Amino acid sequence: MKVFRMIPVYIKDAFKSVFRNFSLSIASISCIIVTLLLVSVAIILTINVNNFANKVKSDVTVVTFLDTSVSSEQLDEIKNNVEKLDNVESVKIYTKQQKKDEMAATNETYKNIISTWSDDNNPLSDELLIKVEDLEKIKSTVDKIKAMEYVSNVKYGEGMVEQLVHVFKVVQNVTIGIVIGLIIVTAFLITNTIKLTIYSRKREIEIMRLVGASNITVKFPFIIEGLVLGIIGSIIPIAGTIWGYNTLYKYFGGQVFSPLVKLIKPTPFVYTLSLGLLAIGALVGMIGSSRAVRKYLKI
């Protein structure tokens, strides 16, 4: 195919053309830089908030206290039954024997008292430590566990968990909305800036069509040029992201305010994000060019 044979020529021409139409190229590139920087900040925020949310969510444990009279066979049976429920991710048994041993290990006084307990008169109860898959459905899962035989009490931080889930959901939706909005705005801005660039080259397109260039031949150099603009425009945002996030991470020592709010480690996060920015820049550059040039292919 002639088009493929011409690719190196188009790439060379695209660079030439970027410099030949320097002022308009600078306009397109600045537009890409500003919006990609905003996209980068928004993505960093979103992913860190999500990371924190997921960490908090995975820490939520449903503690199920069983009757003291439960035998070890019954304990296994209850565990099996709980595992069969929807939304249950894992179930861990915490036996009264383990509890007793752990308490005895804390200090001498406890040890002396606890040593008088035999297996039959251990006043502690067995526990099931349950992790759920979906925090939003935790209430109905807990209700099902409460209804089971030998279950005496269930605790999971009622009220606080629901509030937390709600807040995280709102924050997540808002940040994702902002990122998508920014990408769309970038695409529009770039399309319009490239339209300006292309408008000034209307004559060139007209002549190309007149001397018998096929539509794809006319379009291709502009698409490559959009790609080049997109790639050039993403260099500064990528450098800014890598340097900025690393500096931020070092400054805060990897956590914000408390060890609970941990930042994502810069490697490989910033590099993945950089690839993403490069892809967004290249893609919107190409789509913008392609959309902008379409109008002039009717001459």
Partner 1 sequence: MELIRVINVEKQYKNGVTALYNLNLTIKKGEFVFVIGASGSGKSTLVKMMYREERPTKGQIIIGGINVAKLRNGKVYKLRRKLGVVFQDYKLLPKLNVYENVAFALECIGMHKSEIRTRVLKVLKLVGLKEKVKSYPDQLSGGEQQRVAIARAIVNDPKLLICDEPTGNLDPITSMEIMGVLDAVNKKLGTTIIMATHDRDIVNKMKKRVLLLDNGQLKNDYMEGAFNYESV
Between 5 and 84, CB nearer to partner 1 = 5
| Backbone phi, psi, residue 64, to 5° | -110, 115
Between 152 and 214, CB nearer to partner 1 = 214
3-class DSSP assignment, residue 86? coil
Structural contact between residues 262 and 55, judged by C-beta atoms closer than 8 angstroms: yes
Between 143 and 206, CB nearer to partner 1 = 206
Q: How far is the CB of 196 from partner 1 (least distance, A)?
A: 17
Q: How far is the CB of 191 from partner 1 (least distance, A)?
A: 22
Footprint on this chain of partner 1 (rule: CB under 8 A): 2-3, 5-6, 9, 20, 203-204, 206-215, 217-218, 297-299
Q: How far is the CB of 255 from partner 1 (least distance, A)?
A: 56
The structure tokens listed for 175 are 């940040």
Reported as type and span, the H/E element at residue 210 is: helix 202-210
Burial (CB count within 10 angstroms: exposed 0-12, middle 13-18, buried 19+), residue 27: middle
Between 147 and 211, CB nearer to partner 1 = 211
Reported as type and span, the H/E element at residue 155 is: strand 151-155
Q: How far is the CB of 226 from partner 1 (least distance, A)?
A: 19
Between 19 and 257, CB nearer to partner 1 = 19
Question: Counting every residue, how long is the chain?
Answer: 299
Q: How far is the CB of 44 from partner 1 (least distance, A)?
A: 42
Q: Which of 160, 98, 105, 101 is nearest to 135 (CA)?
A: 160
